[in-house]
Amino acid sequence: MTNLKTYHNLDSNDSLAHFRKEFIHQDNEIYLDGNSLGKLPRQTEKKLNEVLIYQWGNRLIRSWNENWLDLPKKIAGKYSKLLNVKKDEVIIGESTSVRLYQIVFSLLSTDIYPKQLGTDILNFPTDNYILEGINKKFSLQNVNLIKYSQEIFADLNLLKDQIKRKPGIYCLSLVTYKSSFLYPMKDLNMWAEKFKSIIVWDLSHAIGAIDIDLKSSAAKICIGCSYKYMNGGPGAPAFMFIKNGLQKKLFNPIQGWFGHKKPFNFDLNYTPDDGINHFSIGTPPILSLFAMETGIDITLKAGIKSIRKKSLLQTEFFIKHFKKRLVPLGYNLESPREKSKRGAHITISHKFSWQICQALIQGYKNGIKIIPDFRPPNLLRFGISPLYNRFEDLYIVISRLEDIVNSKEYLSFSTVKIKVT
CATH code of the domain covering residue 352:
3.90.1150.10
102 and 173 part of one domain: yes
CA pair distance 127, 119, nearest whole angstrom: 8
Q: Which residues, 6 or more positions from 292, have their beta carbon under 8 angstroms from its beta carbon?
A: 75, 92, 226, 230, 232, 233, 236, 237
Whether the ω angle into residue 377 lies within 30 degrees of 0, i.e. cis, is yes
- Assess whether 271 and 159 both reside in one domain: yes
Q: Is there a domain that residue 86 lies in?
A: yes
Tell whether 421 is covered by a domain.
Answer: no
Q: Which of 283, 301, 319 is the last residue of a domain?
A: 301
Instruction: Classify burial at 275, counting beta carbons within 10 Å of its beta carbon; exposed 0-12, middle 13-18, buried 19 or more.
Output: middle
The span from the CA of 119 to the CA of 16, in Å, is 36
Task: State which amino acid sits at residue 189.
Answer: N
Query: Does residue 370 share a domain with residue 263?
Result: no
DSSP structural state of residue 52: I
Three-state SS at 282: coil
Q: Give the pLDDT of residue 1.
A: 45
Residues 376 and 400 in one domain: yes
pLDDT at 399: 96
Asked if 193 contacts 219 with a C-beta cutoff of 8 angstroms, the reply is: no
Claim to verify: residue 16 and residue 152 sit in the same structural domain: no
Q: Same domain, yes or no, for 295 and 332? A: no
Among 301, 336, 356, residue at a domain's last position: 301
> 0.85 cut: is pTM over it?
yes
What are the angstrom distances between the C-alpha of 352 and each of 22, 321, 329?
A: 36, 20, 11
Indicate whether 127 and 189 sit together in one domain.
yes
| Residue 289 and residue 235 in one domain | yes
What's the order of all strands across the beta sheet hosting 117-120? Answer: 90-92, 239-242, 221-224, 198-202, 169-173, 117-120, 144-146
Whether residue 40 is contained in a domain is answered as: no
| Whole-angstrom distance, CA of residue 30 vs CA of residue 27 | 9
Plot region of 181 (φ>0 → left; ψ -120 to 50 → alpha; else → beta): beta
CA–CA separation, 306 and 14 (whole Å) = 10
pLDDT at 192: 98
On the 0-12 / 13-18 / 19+ scale of CB atoms within 10 A, 210 is: buried
Please identify, among 284, 301, 318, the residue that sits at the C-terminal boundary of a domain: 301
- Alpha helices per DSSP H over 206-335: 244-247, 286-302, 304-325
Cross-strand partners of 173: 202
Phi, psi values for residue 342, rounded to 5°:
-135, 140
Check whether residue 15 and residue 81 sit in a common domain: no
3-state secondary structure of 222: strand
Reduced to 3 states, what is the DSSP secondary structure of residue 2?
A: coil
Cα dihedral 104, 106, 112, 117 in deg (nearest 10): 20
- Asked whether residue 211 falls in the same domain as residue 294, the answer is yes
In a domain, 419, yes or no: no
- Residues 189, 102: one domain? yes
The number of residues in the chain equals 421
- Check residue 419 and give its pLDDT: 74
Confirm whether 36 is domain-assigned: no
Predicted local distance difference test score (pLDDT) of residue 418:
80
- The Cα 361–Cα 342 span in angstroms is 25
- So what's the pLDDT on residue 76? 98
Rounded mean pLDDT for each run of 10 residues along the chain, 421 residues in total:
70 97 97 98 97 98 97 98 98 98 98 98 98 96 96 96 98 98 98 98 98 98 98 98 96 96 94 96 97 98 98 97 97 97 98 97 88 96 98 96 96 87 69
The answer to whether position 241 is within a domain reads: yes
Domain count, the chain: 2
Asked whether residue 418 is domain-assigned, the answer is: no
The DSSP element (H or E) to which 353 belongs, if any, is helix 353-362
* C-alpha distances in Å from residue 8, one per residue of 2, 165, 363: 11, 53, 23
As a whole number of Å, the CA-based R_g of the chain is 22
For residue 275, what is the domain's CATH number?
Answer: 3.40.640.10
What is the number of other CB atoms lying within 10 angstroms of the CB of residue 190? 12
Distance CA 84, CA 304 (A): 11
Do 66 and 24 reside in the same domain of the chain?
Answer: no
Residue 303 exposed, middle or buried by CB count within 10 Å (0-12, 13-18, 19+): middle
Sheet with 379-383: list strands edge to edge.
332-333, 345-349, 379-383, 373-375
> In this structure, is residue 417 part of a structural domain?
no
125 membership: H or E segment, kind and range: helix 125-137
Q: Please give the Cα distance from 102 to 250 (Å, whole number).
A: 10
> By residue range, what is the domain housing residue 109?
45-301
Q: Cα–Cα–Cα angle for 49, 53, 55, nearest 5°?
A: 100
Nearest-angstrom CA–CA distance, 260 and 268: 11
